Structure 1
Amino acid sequence: MMKKRNMIPYLALSSAALATPSAVLAQSGDPMVIAEGLTLDPLFDARLAYEHVDQPLSDADALTLRTRAGLELASETGLSFLVESEATLGIINDFNDTIASNGIEPFSIVADPQNIELNRIQLKYTRKGKGSVTVGRQRINIDDQRFVGSVGWRQNEQTFDAVRGSVTTLKSLTLDATYAISQRTIFGGDAGAREAFDGDFVFLGVGLDAGPDTLKGFAYLLDFAPGQPVSLSSSATYGLRATARLPITQGLALDLVGSYAVQKAYKANPGKYSVDYIAGSIGTSFSGFDLVLGYESLGSDGVGNRFQTPLATLHKFNGWADMFLSTPPAGLQDSYVSLRKKVDLFGGFTASATYHEFGSDSGSMDYGTEFDSALDFKISVIAVGLKYAKYDADSFAVDTEKFWLRLGYSF
């Protein structure tokens, strides 16, 4: 159960948007001209989230409200300054929020602790057609977020204290480089050592865009500072990612995505190992349905060293039940099929379903199966999301069912 906290700061942060001039709010957050060549843009995002977890020996019910409020001051010269607060309030608190100081709890985990923090504060310079540089606490999502992401599914967002630059002047070639000194986690200000993981983190990408086909080389060098819970997890990852569209007949094409990477111990990590990552998918569309067949392997060397992605938006991968947020010692193989349909009825909604089969990379172990489904639509200006996940462990872990209802509004 979450700790009792003084919620006066929460209310102050949440009401920041109410202090925004009514003329600005009337334009749904459009930038307001405050001087020649200078605009002020209000930022506001609110999400009410209900999550239910059902496991054999425990369950959980969580109802939380998350708000973000901020401002962005931008000049026509390309220079901008952004500041944004974030606050999460617990309304129904029958869940384990992962905060160790709250003691051992009889509930399943829902990683949405009550929290107040400075989410982003950044200075950015952009030259149209040339590139950009961003300095400060910022949101970073790279490619499909398999290696670096903001974990937007959780109420508290993951951000980075970093400097990031991109160069787009070389026609179809793009260069992207980031140096970060801190990973600001989803666990919030009461998480002790897990509030933020410090170190020297380098993200490098070189991409070639040739129409519908792309090729990208990447490197992620993670050197966690000594004395932290993750200090022995430092790693260097090098890989390639490619996408392509293969026409079959008129109106029918295959969308191909493939990735390969190798990961090794780095800096403070005393290990000596090399493990592989392989991912691939084939997708197509027919009669309004999107179908994807995919496979992903996070390798293991057979003695406990395995491929890990500690900065990723992990909820997007290997099932929504979140049973594989950390790769098992024997590695992980995930074979899946996904079906998605957008329907233009009742204002429009999108339905999707995915089936996973999980197993180990070494040792031929069965990790079970999972079925996921989702329904997304809007009611006026409110975004509504329903999600369901059912994981059958097959003796590997515990059977788990999860259900979510989320209501969101932003401008």
Structure 2
Amino acid sequence: MQSVVKISTRTALILLAGTCVNANAYNELENQARTNIDLNLRYEAVDQDNSSKDASALTLRTRLNYTSVNYNGFSGVVEFEDSRQIAGVNDYNDTVGSNTQYSIIADPETTELDQAYVQYKQGKFIAKLGRQVLTLDNHRYVGHVGWRQDRQTFDAATLLYNASENIKVNYSYINKRNRIFADVKDLHAKDHLLNISYKTSVGQLTAYSYLLEVDEGTSNGLDTFGVSFKGKKDKLSYYAEFATQDFESGATDYSASYIAVEAGYNFDTVTLKLGAEILGSDDAMYGFSTPLATLHKFNGWSDQFLGTQQEGLVDLYASISGKAFGGGWTVAVHDFSADEATESVDDLGTEINAIYTKKFAKKYTAGIKYAAYSAGDSTAGKVDTDKVWLWVGAKF
């Protein structure tokens, strides 16, 4: 299938220039255009209890963004992204290279056209066409995977309609998924995303339909329908979600469900959260899947469960967070088990996560992050894993 949204640097620049009628009009509005540089220098180390060698990576991600003027409702964005290995610290499997003897750190070297789209905004209506960042709700189904150096974007057409102060309708059609593994693992697609939210006096109710299809020559489909509710009352926060999913691939057909609940309380100095997330299974043959999600955000930062195993996953977790020395900290614990246990897969281990981040001098951020996963008794291919990150970022 030929892409409906075919992006190239030349095309992006032509589209961007087309947002203004003539050079004089552009010059008059030039002071409204914006150019931004976003830098992220990060060290990551991985130690796993298996045959893979310990991995380490020092990488620099540079993102250059130009946002045009707004002329009669039209504007445009062009953004380039580059990720480089620094100082020869590159003993890691980047998922696209040859260092397979090391543990995986999914930050390959790459230079890409990260975004290139034209936007039209008129009243309550917004339309975007081109390569763009898409995020929905809490990133559980659709996200930019911004934790990795090469973030995820989509070639898409998006329509957003704010019907009222309380009702928002969002629809996107995606024909290419530009994933985090450089362009060699991008996927052509026929994805339809519909998300409708309604704000009430006690919280926000959201209903969604995500119909996904990889357009790579095989018959397949991943259809998810769900509803969520989140709100806050004084110091108490609450969240609940339920979804069903049908997966088809050739003659194979599976169904699974998703349940998430969370409650939080702010004790002034710290915030405590307790929650459970269940990615269901179909008779231990298929696990609920969210391939467009910011997966690193969920089920522990050691990334043991980026793909849900066929037995499904139950994640019981608790976190505590607060402020210290001008920054923010969080400590979380997870207990993992199979949704539909078998003789060999049941206990899937535990994990401890910790993070501290701090902003300084207005334009800079720094942080340290740690994840320690302890494998359970199951023969599910999981091993003890420790990961640590140190980073500094700057935005100009």
Q: TM-score, normalised by structure 2?
A: 0.87
- 2:332 pairs, out of 345, 354, 360, with 354
Contact 2:259 2:278 survives alignment (8 Å): yes
1:330 aligns with 2:311: yes
SS in 2 for 1:315: helix
The structural deviation recorded for 1:372 is 0.1
Partner Cα distance (2:327, 2:308) in 1: 34
How many positions carry a matched residue from both structures?
Answer: 360
Aligned amino acid, residue 408 of structure 1: G
1:117 aligns with 2:107: no
Q: Are residues 80 and 376 of structure 1, via their aligned partners in 2, closer, same or farther at CA, if it must alter by over 3 Å? A: same
SS in 2 for 1:35: helix
Name 1:288's counterpart in structure 2: 269
Q: Are residues 334 and 132 of structure 1, via their aligned partners in 2, closer, same or farther at CA, if it must alter by over 3 Å? A: same
Structure 2, gaps ≥5 residues long: 1-25
Name 2:134's counterpart in structure 1: 140
Between 1:86-95 and 1:147-156, the stretch displaced more is 86-95
Contact 2:193 2:211 survives alignment (8 Å): yes
Partner Cα distance (1:37, 1:329) in 2: 54
1:18-71 per-position Cα deviation (integer Å, ceiling 9, x unaligned): xxxxxxxxxxxxxxx941487220021110010000112321000000101121
Name 2:82's counterpart in structure 1: 87
Name 1:239's counterpart in structure 2: 226
Name 1:407's counterpart in structure 2: 392
Name 1:224's counterpart in structure 2: 214
Name 2:367's counterpart in structure 1: 385
Q: Are residues 211 and 34 of structure 1, via their aligned partners in 2, closer, same or farther at CA, if it must alter by over 3 Å? A: farther
Partner Cα distance (1:363, 1:43) in 2: 50
Between 1:383-392 and 1:76-85, the stretch displaced more is 76-85
Contact 2:91 2:99 survives alignment (8 Å): no
Name 1:73's counterpart in structure 2: 68
The structural deviation recorded for 1:244 is 2.5
1:221-263 per-position Cα deviation (integer Å, ceiling 9, x unaligned): 0011134xxx5663000000101234xxxxx532110110000
1:274 aligns with 2:255: yes
Aligned amino acid, residue 133 of structure 1: A
The structural deviation recorded for 1:336 is 0.1
Partner Cα distance (1:282, 1:407) in 2: 32
- 2:383 pairs, out of 363, 382, 398, with 398
Name 1:3's counterpart in structure 2: none
- 1:175 pairs, out of 157, 166, 169, with 169
SS in 1 for 2:149: coil
Name 2:18's counterpart in structure 1: none
Please, what is the CA RMSD of the aligned residues?
1.7
- 1:96 pairs, out of 93, 98, 107, with 93
The structural deviation recorded for 1:340 is 0.7
Partner Cα distance (1:137, 1:243) in 2: 30
Using the aligned pairs only, state the percent identity.
36
1:298 aligns with 2:279: yes
Partner Cα distance (2:220, 2:364) in 1: 41
Name 2:239's counterpart in structure 1: 257
Contact 2:235 2:267 survives alignment (8 Å): no
The structural deviation recorded for 1:406 is 1.1
Partner Cα distance (1:205, 1:105) in 2: 40
